[in-house]
Chains A and B, each alone.
Chain A
Amino acid sequence: MPSDSSPFDQFFFVLRSAGVPVGVTEWLTFLEALKAGVIGSADELYAIGRSILCRTEADYDAFDLAFATAFEEATLPEDLASKVAEWLEEAARRFDEDRARREETRTAEELWRDLLDTMREQTERHDGGNRWVGTGGTSPFGHSGYASRGIRVGGEGRNRSAISVAMERRWASHRTDEPYQVRNLQVALRALRDLGRDGALELDLDATIERTCRNAGDIEIVEHRARANRVHLVLLMDSGGSMAPHARRVSRLFDAAERLGTFKSMQAYAFHNCVYDVLWDESGDEGRVPTDRLIRDLGPRHRVLFVGDACMAPYELFSPHGWPPEEASTGLEMLERIQRACGASAWLNPEPRRYWNHPTIRAVQGVFEMHELTVDGIREAVQGLRTPRPPRGFS
């Protein structure tokens, strides 16, 4: 199989490096489709290839880019091009060595598995190589060489149309690493659950039969509680001035959580820059709520999500607030108390990670796992919230 599939090797590499998570199963299915003859034109190569190699529409945009790259000279974002170049060269070299050595004795599946392993190692090694694919003419994955052989299925004219469709990048808005929609957020939040038997009453058929038999046929109904989500979600949102540019994204997250309805309860509070003795109730109409009361109510089933840029004047985090002075605590201490009182917590920062090099952000990161306020970031945060960790001590 590898020999007659080779025109598409480059496509495979480009897909992987563009971020489409193509695995052995999908790739073999794709080769199967090529063999079965269902792909008769470049348009079909595009449509069917995409249907087999992408698992979600979030991958469509990366697929479009990879398709255009693999089958036609195309302009790419600068960083992607260099990524593809350095990665391809090394992977190609290593895989070719491997293939020469093993082709005789290995099945196609084993071979592709090896290829994947090679690439997995490669993604972790970002050293060396800065030439674009094939420009040197030495790479076995030379662009024009394979592209011209690979695309023979369609012919020049139709090929062009599939490429131009791919280049329109119609699916760019579906990427999950880009700004987000309420619906995507809900999908990410829905994974936050801890099922317990405290839902509605359900008939337990097996137990009913067992008891009824023991009663010599007098029917005795046994019921138990259905499984329901036990997670209480608490959103704590920074409404300080520096958050103004992010207000829409924060309110979308709030909307998503509030409308989802899969939590045992959902509460949202606002704070200003840092949490002090009072919070503002956003989900109900209580107005000012003492932070102490929230902390008292928190329990092991509460998951607390902070949303804020964690960027403030150092005194806001490190100087004591409150009255009387002996009961005053610093903002950081408040955060730590909340962190210890709940089952699990995380911090979502609307600023991109590269701007996180700030003293107060680093201090907050000492208390909470921090993630970006993106669909992917929320997904990571939820992953951490699902498995409560032992509370951290003071650092």
Chain B
Amino acid sequence: MSENQVFDGTQGYISDGDLSAVVNAANVLQRPLLIKGEPGTGKTRLAEAVAESLGRPLVTWHVKSTTKATDGLYHYDVVQRLNDSRFGDGDVSDLRKYIRMGPVGKAFQMQEPCVLLIDEIDKADIEFPNDLLRELDDMAFHIPELDETVRATHRPFILITSNAEKELPDAFLRRCVFHYLGFPDRGRMAKIVRVHHPHVEQDLLDASIERFYTLRAVSNLRKAPTTSELIDWLGLLMHAGVSPDAVGKDTRFLGVLLKQESDLGRVRDDTERRA
């Protein structure tokens, strides 16, 4: 790892001082970086930005509720081999043909340092993170079928995201550098939106962001709108040519921001009453 590579956001990803400092610290300390935050705060996009700005390839492991820790290391396709031995005509004595590397295995075997993203780790079983501890500590794992050990050629920068649907085990948390990605404030939000809509007029941008944060502040919404919904909504406002003054009163596109029927109904009634 070269230490002169420093992360400070990219053209498409607006970082802030805290986040950049933490990313760089995790990189230097060679600890996995655990990023937690509400959906829509840009956790996954952060990994892409880190890879881009450090000039490293990105290996992604999307975790699902059924994912097991060993899936990330390698998969021995024993059924394929059995099938080939019965019906195929190839040589089945070469086990290597039936061993496929998972994302962690791929990251370890890379010929250059990479960024390994373990996305939404909290989707899997509660024990999942613990099952990965040893491999991530040692930067190596064993394949009993080949009696071989896969050792990381270059230590990958490991970035882990969590939506906080489950609590992660303490032993796992102790090894990570942890950062909670708070919801962006208005200033940072304006910069983020501008990345996606570079030609938006300042007045319209300000008005839509104002309206967006007002909506988020409405207590008891079942689901508060997030960044990506704001970006979509602004796109619609621009397309429909809504003037900045009308943003607060327009209810036509609110469905893009509010996905729960009851939320939408309440806000719509509210807006119409005031209008």
Interface residues of A (CB under 8 A from B): 23, 25-26, 29, 32-33, 36, 38-39, 43-44, 46-48, 51-52, 54-57, 60, 170, 174, 183, 186-187, 190-191, 205, 208-209, 212, 217, 219
Contacts and interface: CB of A to CB of B under 8 A. Distances in A.
Interface stretch (B19-27, B44-52, B192-200): B19-27
B173 A48 contact: no
B219 to A, nearest CB: 11
A52 B25 CA distance: 9
B36 A57 contact: yes
Nearest to B76: A205
B29 A33 contact: yes
A209 B82 contact: yes
Contact of B28 (A36, A46, A54, A205): A36
Contacts of A32: 29
A23 B29 contact: no
Contacts of B164: 183, 187
Contacts of B86: 217, 219
Contact of A205 (B25, B33, B79, B182): B79
Contacts of B173: 55-56
B168 to A, nearest CB: 8
Nearest to A195: B125
Given A55-B170, A187-B166, A187-B167, A48 B25 contact: yes
Given A52-B25, A56-B173, 18 more contacts: A25-B174, A25-B175, A29-B31, A33-B25, A44-B21, A44-B25, A47-B17, A51-B33, A51-B178, A51-B179, A52-B178, A55-B170, A55-B174, A60-B180, A190-B126, A190-B165, A190-B166, A208-B79
Interface in B155-211: 164-167, 170, 173-175, 177-180, 182
Nearest to A227: B125
B78 interface: yes
B18 interface: yes
Interface of B: 17-19, 21-22, 24-26, 28-29, 31, 33, 36, 78-79, 82, 85-86, 126, 164-167, 170, 173-175, 177-180, 182
Contacts of B179: 51
18 contacts: A32-B29, A33-B29, A36-B28, A38-B24, A38-B28, A43-B21, A47-B19, A47-B21, A48-B22, A51-B179, A52-B25, A52-B29, A52-B177, A55-B170, A56-B36, A56-B178, A170-B182, A191-B126
A195 to B, nearest CB: 9
Given A32-B29, A36-B29, A219 B82 contact: yes
- Mostly, the B contact residues are helix
Contact of A212 (B24, B82, B126): B82
Contacts of B25: 33, 38-39, 44, 48, 51-52
B178 A38 contact: no
Given A25-B174, A51-B178, A56-B178, A186 B165 contact: yes
Contacts of A25: 174-175
Contacts of B174: 23, 25-26, 55
Contacts of B19: 47
The 10 closest A-B pairs by CB, nearest first: A57-B180, A47-B18, A55-B173, A51-B22, A48-B25, A47-B21, A44-B21, A38-B25, A51-B177, A25-B174
A187 B28 contact: no
Contacts of B175: 25
A54 B170 CA distance: 11
B248 to A, nearest CB: 27
